[in-house]
Amino acid sequence: MKFAYYPGCSAKGSSADYEKSTQAVCAALGMRLEEIPGWNCCGSTPAHAVDTELSAALCARNLDIAARQEAEILLTPCPSCLSNLRHASKRMEDAAFRARVDALLDNPAAAHFPPVTSVMQGIAANCDAAAIAARVRKSLKGLRLAAYYGCLMSRPPEIMDFGDPENPTLMESLLTACGAEMVDFPLKTACCGASYGIPERPMTARNSGRILELATRLGVDAVVVACPLCQMNLDLRQTQASRAVDAFFRMPVLYFTQMMGLAFGFAPEHLGLEKLRVSADGLINKLDGLRQAEAREAAAREAKTAAAKAAEQPDRAAAAEGGRS
- CATH number of residue 64's parent domain: 1.20.1050.140
Does some domain include residue 324? no
The residue type at 171: M
Does some domain include residue 296? no
Q: Which of 121, 154, 172 is the last residue of a domain?
A: 121
Question: Does residue 265 sit in the same domain as residue 144?
Answer: yes
Ordered strands of the 32-35 beta sheet = 32-35, 2-5, 74-76, 116-118
Does some domain include residue 317? no
Question: Does residue 144 sit in the same domain as residue 112?
Answer: no
Does some domain include residue 206? yes
Q: 100-149: per-residue pLDDT in tens?
A: 999 999 999 999 999 999 999 999 999 999 999 999 999 999 999 999 99
Cβ–Cβ under 8 Å, residues 160 and 226: no
Q: Tell me which residue of 298, 303, 302, 265 sits closest to 284, measured CA to CA.
A: 265
Euclidean distance between CA atoms 126 and 3, whole angstroms:
11
Q: How many of the other CB atoms lie within 10 Å of CB of 10?
A: 22
Does some domain include residue 127? no
Question: Does residue 8 sit in the same domain as residue 117?
Answer: yes
CATH code of residue 248: 3.40.50.11810
Question: Does residue 278 sit in the same domain as residue 174?
Answer: yes
Euclidean distance between CA atoms 313 and 103, whole angstroms:
87
Question: Does residue 44 sit in the same domain as residue 71?
Answer: yes
Euclidean distance between CA atoms 232 and 221, whole angstroms:
18
Cβ–Cβ under 8 Å, residues 230 and 153: no
Q: Tell me which residue of 174, 122, 135, 129 sits closest to 28, measured CA to CA.
A: 135
Euclidean distance between CA atoms 314 and 317, whole angstroms:
5
Question: Does residue 117 sit in the same domain as residue 196?
Answer: no
Query: What's the distance, Cα to Cα, between the start and end of the chain in Å?
Result: 70
205 band by pLDDT with thresholds 50, 70 and 90: very high
Average pLDDT over residues 270-287: 98
Does some domain include residue 78? yes
Question: Does residue 253 sit in the same domain as residue 191?
Answer: yes
Does some domain include residue 295? no
Does some domain include residue 311? no
Indicate the angle between helix axes 95-102 and 52-68, nearest 10 degrees: 80
Range(s) of the domain holding residue 172? 136-287
Residue 10 has pLDDT above 90, yes or no: yes
Euclidean distance between CA atoms 207 and 246, whole angstroms:
13
Partner residues linked to 181 by β-bridges: 144
Question: Does residue 177 sit in the same domain as residue 51?
Answer: no
Question: Does residue 92 sit in the same domain as residue 182?
Answer: no
Q: 142-184: per-residue pLDDT in tens?
A: 999 999 999 999 999 999 999 999 999 999 999 999 999 999 9
The count of domains in the chain is 2
